[in-house]
A and B are shown apart, each in its own frame.
Chain A
Amino acid sequence: MAVFTPEEQSRFEEELGLVLARFPEDQKGAALLEAFHIVQDILGWVPDKAVELVARELGLPLVRAYEVRSFYTMFHLEKPGGHVLEVCTNVSCACRGAQEIVDRVCERFGLAPGETSADGRVTLKTVECLGSCGTAPMLAHNGEYVEEVDEAALENLIKEIEGD
């Protein structure tokens, strides 16, 4: 099985080409993190097959590509749900009720942090500070920040996801 459809393949090649152009020609390996981001932007996660493809494209040993994928927490090793919720639980958010967000999401979608709901709808992660401490508590919904979350806002978000 190919990693990408033909359209996805050309998007991958085009975006990777732009990244490679940033670096000296003998430093293709520098594009590795961006290459994984591009894969994840396209597929939603970074499967093993993509790691192999990226390693080949950049002329890197396979083990280097694998160790880098696993070192960085942003790269999903499994396909996540349609709605990825990342709730910051560091102190500025925790002291304004972040745990209640986590608990409520777990209860409503029947999952635990780190899991995807049985229907594949929601993936919940607890994460470290996302740089929104002044608008705490917060979460990222499919990468977009939702800030100053209060009970009403949380309820709206859950309803929106349930209705999707």
Chain B
Amino acid sequence: MRIGGTHRVLTKRWDIEDSHLLSTYDEGERYQQLHRALTKLSAAEIIDEVKGSNLRGAGGAGFPAGLKWSFVPTDTGKPVYLVVNADEGEPGTYKDRFIIERDPHMLLEGIGIACKAIGSHKAYIFIRGEYTGPRRRLIHAIEEARAAGILGESAMGTGYRLDIHVHRGGGAYICGEETSLLEALEGKKGLPRVKPPFPAVEGLFGCPTVINNVQTIASVPAVMEMGGEAFAKMGHERCGGPHLFNVSGHVKWPGIYELPFGTTYRELIFEHCGGMRGEKELKAVVPGGASTPVLLPEELDVRADFDSMPNAGSMFGTGAVIALEEGTCMVRTCLRFLEFFHHESCGQCTPCREGCGWLAKIVGRIEHGGATRSDVDLVLEVADKIVGNTICALGDAAAMMAPPMVKKFEAEWNRHIEDEKCPFPKERLEKNRTPEESDD
């Protein structure tokens, strides 16, 4: 797997041995931006800098981070919480894990700065339970920071109390949804809450709460160091800075590429990832995780950012790009995603619970045999009944992912029905991965 890209801002230490240790992070920097935030800057000044940076939420929705922070009321008398979303479950996405493994102190520094901005003294990092190794790294980093006096009763000797805790999830994708995450953090089933009230006003334990993705928060030290304006300039229009594109599938070099927003998917796949792994041509690109509508090879000149993608009928999502080669069955791909959404639906809303189940069932019989001609239309019909009728975006995601899979590859779907089976071969394991494909 490669780490690359043109802008090594968030990944600048990733190639250093022991990049996760405080001693590495210390070199020259030593939580300088946190120190500045705690001693020299007001909360409003930090928020302004972040607003000016056009830093967008990297958890999928792209909400402007500075704006979100500005919604927190400061006069409620209740504690304010920062919750960092490290639940990372969107299929194709693995950038947060690498931030935590390779540079946990960058995340901790970002947390400290964000806490100061919203008047919080306590942050919870909610990490998916399966991330055993990353969790160990994080706990170790927090211990190092505490021992060095960076965290604790008086963070960096400034008198500002700052506590960071790591809390494990139980293996449910839905807990990545921010209000479901709060339920899980309160020790309940992860059922998304109806909004409003929004978490900024009534979040964890009924207190004002900001929830941000790992990458969003980990970008904050860079924003403060180079200044909001410079960070904004690195990106494209209203999307500031670089993003960690996590690429998987059949490209030659899967990996994490730190590139500015606005890079095209064609550049990403053919210039940075070395194109496809073998002789086969590119067939389809899932641009931002399972929840995002598929792109065809001729649609790859769209700019990869939150605002351009809707014009191309898709979404930026998490920047989790899955490139699939000719010979990959799109019915099977769609089925795997639908089975995923069906499995992960929390079951609260009937359209999502039943609809995802039906979609998986219908597409299952198209893939495996036993479908009738009208089943293809039925997929579109069922999907249409889910959109807009659910509490959270999981139902919508399933219902918006499936139709383009059908419409853009219609001949293939019809062929499944005519043949009463899948015309594509099974995917095989490679015998020995070539060194070129593993590390550099």
Is A75 a contact partner of B91 (Cβ separation < 8 A)?
no
Size bracket, chain A contacts: 35 or more
The answer to whether A36 touches B170, judged by C-beta atoms less than 8 angstroms apart, is: yes
B171 at the binding interface (Cβ < 8 Å): yes
B16 at the A/B interface (Cβ < 8 Å)?
no
Whether B248 pairs with A133 at a CB distance below 8 angstroms is yes
A127-164, CB < 8 A from B? 128-137, 140, 143-145, 147-152, 154
Question: Is A91's CB under 8 angstroms from B322's CB?
Answer: yes
Q: Which residue of A lies closest to B438 (CB)?
A: A148
A90 contacts which of B132, B336, B432 (Cβ < 8 Å)?
Answer: B336
Is A96 an interface residue, CB under 8 A from the partner?
Answer: yes
A30 and B186 in contact, given A37-B168, A128-B340, A130-B130 (Cβ under 8 angstroms): yes
Q: Which residues of B in the span 403-440 have a Cβ within 8 Å of any Cβ on A?
A: 426-433, 437-438
The smallest C-beta distance from A30 to any residue of chain B, in angstroms, reads 5
CA distance A58 to B44 in the complex (A): 39
A128 in complex: contacting residue of B89, B185, B250, CB < 8 Å: B89
For chain B, give the interface size range.
35 or more
CB distance from B124 to the nearest CB of A (A): 7
Tell me the nearest residue of chain A to B340, going by C-beta: A128
Nearest-neighbour CB distance to chain A for B206, whole angstroms, equals: 10
In the complex, what residues of B have CB within 8 A of residue A75's CB? 170-171
Residues of chain A within 8 A (CB-CB) of B177 are: none
Which residues from A are CB-within-8-Å of B246? 133-134
With beta carbons under 8 angstroms apart, the residue of A37, A100, A143, A147 that contacts B426 is A100
How far is B429's CA from A98's CA once the two chains are assembled, in angstroms? Answer: 7
Choose one: B131, B168, B324, B433; the contact of A33 (CB below 8 Å). B168
Of the listed stretches B25-33, B92-100, B300-308, B384-392, chain A binds B92-100
Q: Which residues of B contact A101 (CB under 8 A)?
A: 429
Whether A24 lies near B91 (C-beta < 8 A) is no
Chain A, range 72-88, C-beta contacts under 8 Å to B? 72-75
- Confirm or deny: B333 has a beta carbon within 8 angstroms of a beta carbon on chain A: yes
Whether, in the assembled complex, A89 has its beta carbon less than 8 Å from a beta carbon of chain B, the answer is yes
In the complex, what's the smallest C-beta–C-beta distance from B106 to chain A, in angstroms? 18
Q: How far is the CA of A145 from the CA of B130 in the complex (A)?
A: 9
Residues in B whose Cβ lies below 8 Å from that of A19: 167
A47 vs chain B, min Cβ distance (A): 16
B320 interface residue per 8 A CB criterion: yes
B248 touches A92 (CB 8 A): yes
Q: Which of B92, B96, B131, B333 has the most CB of A within 10 A?
A: B92
A150 pairs with B431, CB closer than 8 A: yes
- The answer to whether B186 touches A29 (Cβ under 8 A) is yes
Binding site of B, secondary structure by majority: helix, strand, loop or mixed?
loop
Given contacts A131-B130, A148-B1, contact A95 B249 (CB under 8 A): yes
In the complex, residue of chain B having the shortest beta-carbon distance to the beta carbon of A60: B187
Min CB distance, B285 to chain A, in Å? Answer: 12
Tell me the bound Cα distance from A104 to B255 in angstroms.
27
Chain B residues near A135 (CB, 8 Å)? 1, 254
Question: Known: A37-B168, A95-B427. Is A131-B189 also a contact (CB below 8 A)?
Answer: no
How far, in angstroms, from A102 to B105 measured CA to CA in the complex? Answer: 37
Neighbouring B residues of A147 by C-beta, 8 Å: 1
Q: Judging by beta carbons under 8 Å apart, are A131 and B128 in contact?
A: yes
Asked if A67 lies at the interface with its beta carbon under 8 angstroms from chain B, I say yes
Q: Which B157-183 residues have C-beta < 8 A from chain A?
A: 165, 167-173
Instruction: Enumerate chain B residues within 8 angstroms of A33, measured Cβ to Cβ.
Output: 129, 167-170, 184, 187
Is there a chain A Cβ closer than 8 Å to B328's Cβ? yes
Q: Which residues of B contact A71 (CB under 8 A)?
A: 170, 172, 189-190
Instruction: Provide 6 A-B residue pairs closer than 8 Å at the C-beta atoms, listed in order of the A residue.
Output: A29-B188, A36-B170, A74-B171, A134-B1, A144-B133, A152-B432
Interface residues of A (CB under 8 A from B): 19, 22, 24, 27, 29-34, 36-37, 58, 60, 64, 67-68, 71-75, 89-92, 94-101, 128-137, 140, 143-145, 147-152, 154
In the complex, the 9 A-B pairs of residues with the closest C-beta atoms, listed nearest first: A72-B170, A32-B187, A74-B171, A97-B429, A133-B248, A92-B248, A129-B91, A73-B171, A71-B189
Known: A33-B184, A58-B187. 13 other contacts (CB 8 A): A29-B186, A33-B129, A71-B190, A91-B249, A92-B91, A96-B249, A96-B427, A100-B429, A143-B130, A148-B1, A149-B429, A150-B431, A151-B432
